[in-house]
Structure 1
Amino acid sequence: MDVPEHSDFINVGKDETAIGKHQSLDPNTYLSLDGNSLNTADLVRLGKGLFNIKLTCEAEGKVNEAREVIETIIKENRVVYGVNTGFGKFAHTLIPKDKLMELQANLIRSHSAGVGPPLSVERTRMLLALRINVLAKGYSGVSMETVQAMVKAFNDLSLYSPCLLRVPEKGTVGATGDLAPLAHLTLGLMGEGRMWSPQRGWDHAKTVGYWCHGVTPLVLKPKEGIGLINETQMRSSLEAEAVERAVGVARQADIIAALSLEALRGTTKAFHSDIYAVRPHLGQIEVVLRLRSLLHSDVFPSQISGKNHRTCDRVQDAYTLRCIPQVHGVANDTIAFVKIILSTELNSATDNPLVFAERGETISGGNFHGEYPAKALDYLAIGVHELASMSERRTERLVNPSLSELPAFLVQDGALNSGFMIAHCTAAALVSESKALCHQSSVDSLSTSAVTEDHVSMGGWAARKALRVVEHVEQGNSYSTSCSLLTACQALEFLRPLKSTTPLEKVHELVRSVVRPWDHDCQMSPDIETAHTLLREEKVWEAVRPYMDQY
């Protein structure tokens, strides 16, 4: 990672630039969290270790004011849920004053019941950063001492020193917050549970934590255990990653769809501006403008399709070519909608009870319920999947000689060589798997906590499967599944010496800088992984963006 010559403080939320634009920032650069202005792009950057974090002075004041309310409640022996009562079904059981700290520690230990593989370093950092941001709003009653300890742990948990708090990814139903994952996160900060370091592997948190960065284990005060886990940050942090990756997937899907259309010598008649003026959905207008900037025009003429399109007698293409703006467009609108929901969720107080310092009281409610992020995640998975579904059909058209008028499976000496035959099978397999993952998890509910939590959102699974769908679409792009990147570039080889438009030739040039044309069979997996990397790093988008701006 390149390191610039300076560091500074950046107020979070000011920069909406897409992920990947700040990959060379010094990790000693800080984002100031205030609980009100965190966005998805910056949260993902925090996960990548590009920033440290710092609370604003205003946030510190709010945290202190809320803690004073809790201290007053304890001093006056007022009964408040989660402060001096049990939890869930035990809400009516009072806890003696000398047991209040033990109550909070026991809560974390008992709720550390997650299973499955742990979150990665990046996702653990996102979870911790988002947890700190919500505490910074000042409605949870957690002390400044505890929040600052979490800030120190985050700043020490860098990609340079990846000491990882072990947070299993499974075990949350989206009822009273993401209890199990957040309990594991807190357990590590308490010096219990397990952590991982490259030198020691998985070991006891107290040993590894001290050895890595000397973090002093947390000692939870009254209300702090429930204040650290009764939230929705697990699903929201994964949703932030999913939606930011979906942005990159969707706009590159448009580019590779144009490349496929060009290789198939499709007509651009369906992209006439008058068509979209009478059905002005924002997403499909955005897509059609991208297509028009990439395909044959007076600005960027194409030797392959220019003359053909002027004299074309083809009335219309198949849906997967003709209806790219309509289907890709609603994916864009879906992503935009989910970002609106998530932007609110990232900066919302979702604890229970909430502490209102200006009134000097706590109020129990239901902001912890995960229905908003769960429904948005299900919607995101469905919207993004359609990009893969459309593109797999375009791949079929490219490898099928009766549809493409190109050599079968885009290889010479067919039969001796199989070419892209099995790449398409892999594409179909990923699309089929994603279809199953698009079944809505948020329509399910299983009553828990002795019917106290009698309706749950299943938001944790919604988050994990939405991410898997996005990953499949990303892989699909490079597998020729989602938008046929390798397949379309291979098809262009059979149309030489004719050239496509300048921006599409730049995409072809980019791919050929890392993947050679196929003239005989060899192992395809390395090429697939290489192309996948191009898409994850948004190199395809970067290659054509200047030409789109010029158009």
Structure 2
Amino acid sequence: MKVLNIGEELDINDFIEWLENGNQVKITDLAIKKVQDCYESLKILNLKEEPIYGISTGFGQFQNKWIELDKQGELQVNLIRSHAVGVGDQIDRKIVRIAMVLLLNSLAKGHSGVKLETVKLLESFINKDIMPVTYEIGSLGASGDLAPLAHIALTLIGEGEVNYEGEIMETKEVLKIVNLKPLKLEAKEGLALINGTHFVTAYAVELFRRSKHLILTSLMGASLSLEALRGSDVPYDENIANLRRHHGHKMVSMIMRQMLKNSKNIKSHSHHSSHEKTQDPYSLRCLPQVVGAVWDGFGYLEKTLNVEINSVTDNPLLFVSEDKVLSGGNFHAEPLGLPLEMVIIGLIEIANIAEARVSKLVDPYVDELPSFLAGEPGLESGYMIAHYTVASLLNKLRGLGMPNLVDNIHVSGGQEDHVSMAMNTATRSMKVLEMVEDIIIFEIMMAVRGLNLVQHDELSLYLSNMLNFINEKIEFIVDDHVIRNVFVDYKELMVMEKYKEILNNFENYPKSFL
């Protein structure tokens, strides 16, 4: 999908496909009509000189301050300038792009009162890859993502900075280069541009986009660990999953069965003598129950995103057919904050269970592998300290597990007395994702090393293909070496298209978490 039709119902998985392969958006004719009708309706309503929040009144605690008709455009400009108070790191341009598309899609529903020129300029910014510079800190996840969105709105009126062709430039200079004119804001427009959940949603979309790859990689890593530790595939039996009945449990068990299918290595250890273990540790045996619960958490996020990316989340809202303006709270990001907090905890749980397997891979009392995966234990330390790094990452992750959502702070003189803090949840989710990815990479590194150090029977075709690919790309060194260099090699390998092709090459590959 190269062109995304704005105004039509979006599906989250189709939207992600466009994010990865497309670069243009087009506002549909029907959406254009809705925008124009709503704009004309607002102009007529405004002439009645009745108080309408944020149009003929001030904002927040200033809701009772009357604004004359000839001052309403100035009110909107003042709003944008005063609310552009973001601090912290710049938001990645990929996230900014998603937020701009979601903002455009919301305005195109025809309930926000903006003029056609406004949505067309936003469309041009996206299509010409002009990405406003904005910042992570400032939104409370209620009253919309005010500060970060205000920096976007600032560029639409020709102020602030944008990222264009790899450089940060003043907006007014870029507008000259691409022959675009800045907006002259009218009633309601500033509020419509900044009063939505588009940045929280954008982070959630990007987290969701990357998470299936992460979960499948974690299951592939667990499969390699199972092979290296000579575990059992019995816990992934379909009969066990059917008795528990959870969808995620069934999906994880199915994926593990596919990844381990026809492994002679596992079968060669399926008959235990009386002195051998009859059950594996929980980090192998309870994988479907743990990661399956995380899978279902992402299913909840998927359902939420399918709703949110098609929602109108500013305030007040205009209903043209009923000739009225309604003030509510669609800007409140609690519906996103809750599933985001859930999947953050889920991702940390994936890291927790992966670390438990890493601990087994280097355990000197595990018979199946050399102590600490050393070529010559004692003279060499092997991957002893790699486990320390995993433990350090996990410690930081546990600190990031504290939910922002439960920390309410009253603002705007007590008028806005419950906020979601979902933007802080959203930015935190990306930090969690990246640390979990690192822990999974360490597990795969160590499982592959274990398999390379010892003789083993034939692995499943799936894992054999993966192991061969890794060994072709990354030199196996028996002796002690700089492990960080190997980690960097693995990190680069896991974004290669060939890696993704092998990772996803199993029967019944799931296109959705649902």
TM-score bin, normalised by smaller chain:
over 0.9
Letter paired with 1:498: D
Task: Return the alpha-carbon distance in structure 2 between the equivalents of residues 489 and 340 of structure 1.
Answer: 36
- Is the counterpart of residue 264 in structure 1 residue 223 in structure 2? no
1:457 to 416, 420, 423: 420
Alignment match, 2:461 = 502
Task: Return the alpha-carbon distance in structure 1 between the equivalents of residues 182 and 82 of structure 2.
Answer: 18
Contact 2:125 2:131 in 1 (8 A): no
Shift in Å at residue 380 of structure 1?
A: 1.0
Task: Return the alpha-carbon distance in structure 2 between the equivalents of residues 308 and 87 of structure 1.
Answer: 69
1:59 to 28, 31, 43: 31
| Cα 1:258–1:49 shift into 2, 3 Å | closer
Deviates more, 1:396-405 or 1:229-238: 396-405
Shift in Å at residue 47 of structure 1?
A: 4.9
Query: Residue 442 of structure 1: SS of its match in structure 2?
Result: coil
Q: Deviations over 1:389-430 (max 9, x none)?
A: 100110110011212532122121234433222221111111
Contact 1:172 1:460 in 2 (8 A): yes
Query: Residue 365 of structure 2: SS of its match in structure 1?
Result: helix
- Is the counterpart of residue 305 in structure 1 residue 266 in structure 2? yes
Deviates more, 1:314-323 or 1:538-547: 538-547
Q: Deviations over 1:134-187 (max 9, x none)?
A: 111111111111001100011001xxxxx4311111110112010000000110
Alignment match, 1:195 = 162
Contact 1:287 1:325 in 2 (8 A): yes
Query: Residue 169 of structure 1: SS of its match in structure 2?
Result: strand
After superposition, where does 1:102-501 map in structure 2 within 5 Å?
102-157=74-129, 163-197=130-164, 201-211=167-177, 213-295=178-260, 297=261, 300-302=262-264, 304-311=265-272, 314-478=277-441, 480=442, 484-496=443-455, 498-501=457-460
Letter paired with 1:330: A
Alignment match, 1:88 = 60
Shift in Å at residue 43 of structure 1?
A: 4.2
Shift in Å at residue 121 of structure 1?
A: 1.8
Deviates more, 1:130-139 or 1:163-172: 163-172
Shift in Å at residue 502 of structure 1?
A: 1.0
Q: What percent of counterpart residues are identical?
A: 33
Alignment match, 1:5 = none
Letter paired with 1:165: P
Task: Return the alpha-carbon distance in structure 2 between the equivalents of residues 187 and 78 of structure 1.
Answer: 28
- TM-score scaled to structure 2, two decimals? 0.94
Shift in Å at residue 50 of structure 1?
A: 2.6
**Residue-pair matches, total:** 507
Shift in Å at residue 387 of structure 1?
A: 0.8
Shift in Å at residue 305 of structure 1?
A: 2.4
Task: Return the alpha-carbon distance in structure 1 between the equivalents of residues 282 and 162 of structure 2.
Answer: 51
Structure 2 residue ranges without an equivalent (≥5) = 510-514
Task: Return the alpha-carbon distance in structure 1 between the equivalents of residues 102 and 496 of structure 2.
Answer: 24
Deviates more, 1:426-435 or 1:213-222: 213-222
Contact 2:53 2:59 in 1 (8 A): yes
Task: Return the alpha-carbon distance in structure 1 between the equivalents of residues 69 and 76 of structure 2.
Answer: 12
Q: Deviations over 1:303-337 (max 9, x none)?
A: x2222214565321111011011101001001011
Query: Residue 285 of structure 1: SS of its match in structure 2?
Result: helix
Query: Residue 308 of structure 1: SS of its match in structure 2?
Result: coil
| Cα 1:292–1:490 shift into 2, 3 Å | same
Task: Return the alpha-carbon distance in structure 1 between the equivalents of residues 32 and 41 of structure 2.
Answer: 15
Query: Residue 548 of structure 1: SS of its match in structure 2?
Result: coil
Shift in Å at residue 475 of structure 1?
A: 1.8
Structure 1 residue ranges without an equivalent (≥5) = 1-9, 11-28, 158-162
Letter paired with 1:271: Y
Contact 1:396 1:424 in 2 (8 A): yes
- RMSD value, Cα: 2.0
Task: Return the alpha-carbon distance in structure 1 between the equivalents of residues 378 and 174 of structure 2.
Answer: 57
Letter paired with 1:221: E
Q: Deviations over 1:213-265 (max 9, x none)?
A: 33321221111000110000010000111122112111221121111111100
Contact 1:411 1:519 in 2 (8 A): yes
Q: Deviations over 1:271-305 (max 9, x none)?
A: 2332222111110111111111222x5xx242x22
Alignment match, 1:75 = 47
Letter paired with 1:242: L
Shift in Å at residue 537 of structure 1?
A: 5.3
Shift in Å at residue 41 of structure 1?
A: 3.8
Q: Deviations over 1:324-353 (max 9, x none)?
A: 111010010010111111211111111110
Contact 1:412 1:520 in 2 (8 A): yes
- TM-score scaled to structure 1, two decimals? 0.88
Shift in Å at residue 122 of structure 1?
A: 1.1
Letter paired with 2:348: H
Task: Return the alpha-carbon distance in structure 2 between the equivalents of residues 415 and 198 of structure 1.
Answer: 54
Task: Return the alpha-carbon distance in structure 2 between the equivalents of residues 41 and 513 of structure 1.
Answer: 33
Deviates more, 1:363-372 or 1:495-504: 495-504
